[in-house]
Amino acid sequence: MDQLRTFRLPVVNLQQLRFVVAAADYGSIRQAAELLSIRHSTLSRTIRQLEDVIGVVVFERSGGGVEPTLAGRSVVRIARLILDQVDSLVDTGRSIGVGDTGRLSIGFSTSMSAGNLRATLLEFKTRFPNVDLMTVERSRVRLANALRCGTVDIVISPGSLSMADSTVLSL
């Protein structure tokens, strides 16, 4: 039965990291708790739980506040990096969700490569600089196949293009 015990990884949560960074920034658990609108005891207990999980004392505590230990300075630095990455992840996800960031591949016929389409694509790139815009010039048949395979997201083609598995709109 001992061999079947599962190895339990230590759990560090983002709230613990945010609390450690706030305490380091303000040099005081009490001030950080006020800023975060939580009780001093909650912040202190959460930081102690993190210290237990990672096995180091993050702060030297005194009546004048808190000061990161040598190991604590590394913990605070890494916590900031992790929180920056999480914030970046959230920002990227939100941007992609509303179409401000991402990838868009547009297929069009060679005969469509000049004029209004080109001007429209340039304007799109200006308005949405974080969208990686790719264009593919092919014959109508090859574009239809590329759309079915998912190598292009949109096809712009003169005339009618009958595709049972896609939505077709006339421009």
Same domain, 87 and 139: no
Same domain, 111 and 83: no
pLDDT greater at residue 106 or residue 78: 78
pTM of the model: 0.56
Same domain, 40 and 115: no
Mean pLDDT of 40-50: 95
Domain count of the fold of the chain? 2
Same domain, 89 and 41: yes
Do the domain assignments include residue 169?
no
Same domain, 126 and 142: yes
Same domain, 26 and 87: yes
Same domain, 74 and 152: no
Per-range mean pLDDT, top range of 17-21, 84-88, 98-102, 108-112: 17-21
Question: How does pLDDT run across 146-155, given as a tens digit for each residue?
Answer: 888 888 888 8
From the number of C-beta atoms within 10 Å of its C-beta (0-12, 13-18, 19+), residue 37 rates as exposed
pLDDT, residue 116, reads 77
Same domain, 90 and 106: no
Same domain, 124 and 107: yes
What CATH number is attached to the domain comprising 89?
Answer: 1.10.10.10
Q: Which domain holds residue 108?
A: 102-156
Q: How would DSSP label each residue in the chain?
A: -GGGPPPPPP---HHHHHHHHHHHHHT-HHHHHHHHTS-HHHHHHHHHHHHHHHTS--EEEETTEEEE-HHHHHHHHHHHHHHHHHHHHHHHHHHHHTTSSEEEEEEE-GGGSSTHHHHHHHHHHHH-TTEEEEEEE--HHHHHHHHHHTS-SEEE-SS----TTS-----
Cβ 114 vs Cβ 145: under 8 Å: no
Per-range mean pLDDT, top range of 41-50, 108-117, 155-164: 41-50
pLDDT confidence bin for 45, thresholds 50/70/90: very high
pLDDT, residue 108, reads 82
